[in-house]
Structure 1
Amino acid sequence: MNWYVVYTKPKWEKKVAEKLSEIGIVCYCPLITQIKQWSDRKKKVEVPLFNSYVFVQLSETDRNLVFQVAGVIRYLFWLGKAAIVRNEEIITIKKCLSDKSVSDISIVSYKKGDKIKLESGIFSSQNAVIQEVTNTHYILVLESLGCILKMKYKKDV
């Protein structure tokens, strides 16, 4: 059986995982513990590592069963087909999250207006402002050099 990625409504990941388990679907919603601060207190809360994603393990013929659960929107697709996650990748995520020597895990995406410092390449150590983010590249403004840089990026994960 393959692992697929189900896209959920925002903030519904834990509810969807719970309901999928109740109807007998093997699922995995990786959670991390964060400290949230309100005006009157701090509290440790478990939040999903991947926003709006839950991993489900089922056969190709049973893929429509997930739509019985409220909060499920669709499957994540890659190259026109439902994205399949290798079992080794799920094991790696579980292993990393259970490792007590790792104290802070987060996934960050750059967005328009973010200020960054380039760490490698010909422009290393230059400060830049992100002007645009697309599926394949960033457009950066290098103020100190007075130029705009269009930079392709590759997704590692």
Structure 2
Amino acid sequence: MKSWYLLYCKRGDQPRAKLHLENQNVVCYYPEVDIEKVVRGKRKMVTEPLFPSYVFIQFDADTGPSFTTIRSTRGVVDFIRFGALPSIVPDALIAELKKIEAQTEGVMSGLPQIGDTVQVTGGQFSGFDAIYKEADGEKRSILLVTLVNQQVKVKVGNQDIAWQKN
């Protein structure tokens, strides 16, 4: 009977491992998500794994391929295990992950949109409401903060910004 297992892969090798595992007739589930990120100062859509370095696989251990064959597959490091044998992942968990993935189809934005009202949660402007202006690299943003009835541009770390996502 087919069961789901979780594999740990070499960093960035999930696509390679998935390709080689599928060539061995192993069912692979490798959830990915589209994320809007700032790359080299520009907003860009990037597809990233939901669980970096992990691939869910489904196969029948009695009929093959063997655990050793799968562990020897290019890009695979080892099974996730508790004790001597690889742990079986419940079918209900995989079904729930697929359901959630289908519901959240689309873009997850890592930053507010230009013109969004944000609140500064840390640093010297903590507690201030501001207007999001633009990204300043990957870790900072430029905000418009009202000081003495005038809007002033300030640079704030992204970890110090809170906003209501639409």
Q: 1:50 to 1:40 in 2, by over 3 A?
A: same
Name which one, 1 or 2, has greater alpha-carbon Rg: 2
Alignment partners' CA distance in 1, 2:3 and 2:106: 28
Secondary structure in structure 2 of the residue aligned to 1:90? helix
The equivalent of 1:7 in structure 2 is 8
How much has 1:14 moved relative to structure 2?
Answer: 2.1
- Amino acid of the structure 2 residue aligned with 1:6: L
Q: Which runs of 5+ in 1 are unaligned?
A: 107-157
Does residue 92 (structure 1) correspond to residue 96 (structure 2)? The answer is yes
Alignment partners' CA distance in 2, 1:21 and 1:94: 19
Q: TM-score, normalised by structure 2?
A: 0.56
Q: 2:70 aligns with which of 66, 74, 93?
A: 66
**What does residue range 9-24 of structure 1 map to in structure 2 within 5 Å?**
9-24=10-25
Secondary structure in structure 1 of the residue aligned to 2:46? strand
How much has 1:50 moved relative to structure 2?
Answer: 1.0
How much has 1:12 moved relative to structure 2?
Answer: 1.2
Q: TM-score, normalised by structure 1?
A: 0.58
The equivalent of 1:37 in structure 2 is 38
Aligned residues: 106
RMSD over aligned Cα atoms: 2.5
Alignment partners' CA distance in 2, 1:52 and 1:90: 17
Alignment partners' CA distance in 2, 1:78 and 1:105: 35
How much has 1:15 moved relative to structure 2?
Answer: 2.2
Alignment partners' CA distance in 1, 2:36 and 2:75: 26
Q: 1:5 to 1:105 in 2, by over 3 A?
A: farther
Identity of aligned residues (%): 25
**What does residue range 68-83 of structure 1 map to in structure 2 within 5 Å?**
68-83=72-87
Secondary structure in structure 2 of the residue aligned to 1:81? coil
How much has 1:59 moved relative to structure 2?
Answer: 1.5
Alignment partners' CA distance in 1, 2:27 and 2:73: 13
Alignment partners' CA distance in 1, 2:30 and 2:104: 19
The equivalent of 1:153 in structure 2 is none
The equivalent of 1:124 in structure 2 is none
- Amino acid of the structure 2 residue aligned with 1:91: A
- Amino acid of the structure 2 residue aligned with 1:94: K
Alignment partners' CA distance in 2, 1:101 and 1:22: 27
How much has 1:78 moved relative to structure 2?
Answer: 1.7
